[in-house]
Chain A
Amino acid sequence: MSGVFSPTRAKIKERTLRTDKWWLEPAITFAVLFSFIIYATFRAFEGANYFTEPLISPFYSPCLSQACVAGSTIFGWTPVSAEIFNFALSPALIILIFPLGFRMTCYYYRKAYYRAFWLSPPACAVAEPHTKYTGETRAPLILQNAHRWFFYAGLVFNVFLTYDAVISFKNSEGQWGHASVGSLVLLVSSTLLWFYSLSCHTCRHTVGGRLKHFSAHPIRYKLWTLVSVLNHKHQQFAWYSLAGVAFADIYVRQVATGAWTNFYFF
């Protein structure tokens, strides 16, 4: 017997005496994240319906594979083979590790999935079911320390997705000066991704958090205070940006399949 049932502790048989709906938050988190995982997996393997001039799904951008459909690549740059070991590789699978790794190692998402998926703990002051716990000291969880590498990669991806949003202000003939619902969807999605990245704890550390001496570095201190303001909302940006990316992909897919028409404002 360990934990709250250890011999020296108060003899209480319940795992928790909380009377509020402590299970609701992890249950909602589980439902939403699990739904996203299922959808994202389906889309990553689908390998189709990710591009319709001038819109490209964020799941497939940058499109680096020789399997990418015409017009979806960046200046025709396709350095990755369409097949690996005779296995047809969806263009999404090539780049998936970067956004996935960024979110998997994110300090907010760690809280969310440790609670909702691994029940470690399911909620505060609710005894977890595991008999042993080593935290993030051993493989594979020690890899959480790679968060900053994914953060840097995420910034590069944000540039690509912002580029996608900019070129979406063309019409389907490639002429500039047009705006559609799709343009707004990609613009909002990429903007939310910037807020998510810039509010990241690693970003806060990088711009100034690692300093011992704020007064000796006034510009980095100012940057740190600005990122700290965003950092307070990191959880919200994590969810909003996830929803933004998912909706952008759904929108592009629906337009690409012909189910929806991309309405042009002008």
Chain B
Amino acid sequence: MFSNAEKEQGADTGLEIQEKRHAVRIRNLSKKYRIYNRPRDRLLQMLNFTGRRFYKEFWALQDVSVTVRHGETVGIVGRNGSGKTTLLQLICGTLTPTSGSVDVDGRTAPLLELGSGFNPEYTGMENIYVNGTILGMSTAEIESKLESILAFADIGEFVHQPVKTYSSGMYIRLAFAVAIHTDPQILIVDEILAVGDAAFQRKCIQRFYDLRNGGCTILFVSHDAYQVKAVCSKALYLRRGRAVMFGDAHAVVDAYVEDLQKGVIEPEAPASTASPERQAPLRITRVRMENAGGRCVDQVRSNERVALCFQYERLDPSFEGAVSFVFNLYRQDGCYVCGATTLMEHMAPFPVQDHGEVVVSFPELPLTAGAYVWRVAVNDAGGMMVHAQEKNVCPFRVVDNFRSVGIVDLKREWTIR
């Protein structure tokens, strides 16, 4: 019935539809909240002709213009309160803009707060039907997908119980299962890939990749700069309700991270997406740093040849698929020196094995004197999810012969004229 309504609207603007190449077009979008002290003031304001103001203004979003083409994956970054969620809600249509316009072309699946459309008194089955209908599926469509939804949610006989009796994990699983089965053309995700246990997360992220590869447009909010770079083609950086930058994901995320470091905006705790402690499918067993002679070391000379080696093992025998590998190097005071993944270096994901070893060689480790520490991790094939990680491992010292100071001993040539 929703789609019918859309078709009717479409008939009026048939020409426009043919020319539509954007999935979401936002023009000069602003959202102003009026902060009232009492609910009554709101009515007084509505009925008021005297010009007196009963509210304080707060701009959650100001003059944002963005066009997203079909099939693009767009990450939205910014610190808490910068308007990310407001923007997503405006796109979904749960909020009405104060000014400007949002034009969305296609069936949208908003995964803003999962299961928020659920009625706690209804059984799981009833909620599947009601929520599915709200999300724009016909009854026949829901019935044809019912089996698949139930299989995805995997909550067994509980589906005939009221959802208020569910654990939060079951609730989320059911909600995600319904939302993801609407065959959305536009998926709107607000940090919800961090839900459920590790096995379910993998299932969700797999579905996320499937949708993306199937040409679905995705808008998603993330705090994880690396995640955005890994999966998004474009990114939008919001600061205090204004669009600071929109464009290539790498450039935008770099600008955001730079601002974080400059202290223009304060950093926030990283998202809980990286939570391998819970039933991780893999475990990193041994991390060591070797010198050129193959001996484990905790002290190296500047520009010495070293290798970082780590092994992983598969804990969950049913876990299959491909993985990518990560290393990060920090100075002891937390300063991030360098990090890279096999994905960033354009290596295809590697099939997971029961036992595997990864060796990263550094022909010349160009560090200046100081104390350093490594982090290693195994990520999934798309770079969204951390399967296993070890932080603060292999602390080591670098000694130098005082040829330079700072962090990095840059390769250099002097020319004096």
A binds B: no
Query: A residues engaging B (CB < 8 A)?
Result: none
Residue ranges of B at the interface with A (Cβ–Cβ < 8 Å): none
